[in-house]
């Protein structure tokens, strides 16, 4: 039996034209601008020049064919976003290669925190493990030194308490 292939929609940002989706995650919860089951991506390229690594947007798409993209967040801290993962409460964690940072984005689009001044080495991948409660563990891979960094964070009101540890084969 042949597979059915269906185009859902474009991920080009409707306001600034950012494009070239890197990272794709399914929203686990309805919160803020996001509905459970939405497809969430970050755009790696900017809109005006299509320059790789200059994109600064996180975009959502409802999962039905013909969906229009909607902007969740746009911020310079997301520059070069190439991976994202979503916690059970809908909080979006990004790996932002060009910004050399990771950002934590609320489902309503607010940048909750950045991990600077933590020393990243080209964050490239992200995976979330969400145990029950308000704790979140995020793993971020770094392309320059091959390390994996574990962030154990807890949402306390509107701030993040973070504990980071780098794992590297030395």
pLDDT tens per residue, range 97-140: 999 988 889 999 999 877 655 678 888 999 888 766 667 888 88
Could you tell me if residue 158 is inside a domain? no
- Is residue 145 a part of any domain in this protein? no
Phi and psi of 62, rounded to 5°? -70, 150
**Nearest one of 93, 111, 96 to 25, comparing CA atoms:** 93
In a domain, 62, yes or no: yes
Lowest mean pLDDT among 74-83, 98-107, 151-160: 151-160
Asked whether residue 132 is assigned to any structural domain, the reply reads no
Q: Where are the beta strands (DSSP E) in 18-91?
A: 19-26, 39-45, 52-61, 70-74, 81-86
How many structural domains are present in the chain?
1
Residues 62-76 pLDDT 10s: 999 999 999 999 999
Please check whether residue 131 lies inside any domain of the structure. no
Q: Which long-range contacts (CB under 8 A, 24 or more apart) does 115-119 make?
A: 115/151, 115/162, 115/164, 118/164
Domain-embedded: residue 8: no
Here the CATH number for the domain that contains residue 109 is: 2.120.10.30
Residue 135 belongs to some domain of the structure: no
CA distance 100 to 59: 20
Question: Does some domain include residue 82?
Answer: yes
Angle at 120 between CA 58 and CA 104, to 5 degrees: 30
Which residue segment(s) compose the domain that 89 sits in? 19-126
120: its two tokens: 């990243």
What whole-number distance in Å separates Cα of residue 107 and Cα of residue 65? 23
């Amino acid at each position: 039996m042949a597979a059915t292939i269906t185009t859902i929609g474009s991920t080009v940002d409707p306001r600034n034209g950012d494009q070239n989706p890197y990272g794709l995650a399914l929203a686990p919860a309805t919160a803020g601008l996001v509905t459970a089951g939405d497809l969430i991506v970050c755009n790696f390229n900017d809109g005006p020049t299509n320059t790789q690594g200059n994109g600064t947007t996180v975009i959502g798409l409802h999962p039905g064919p013909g969906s229009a993209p909607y902007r969740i967040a746009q911020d310079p801290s997301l520059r070069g976003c190439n991976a994202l993962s979503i916690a059970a409460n809908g909080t979006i964690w990004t790996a932002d290669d060009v910004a050399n940072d990771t950002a934590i984005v609320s489902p309503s689009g607010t940048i909750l925190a950045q991990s600077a001044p933590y020393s990243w080495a080209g964050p490239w991948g992200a995976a979330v493990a969400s145990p029950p409660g308000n704790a979140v563990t995020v793993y971020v891979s770094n392309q320059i030194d091959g390390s994996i960094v574990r962030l154990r964070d807890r949402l306390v009101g509107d701030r993040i308490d973070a504990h980071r540890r780098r794992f590297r084969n030395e």
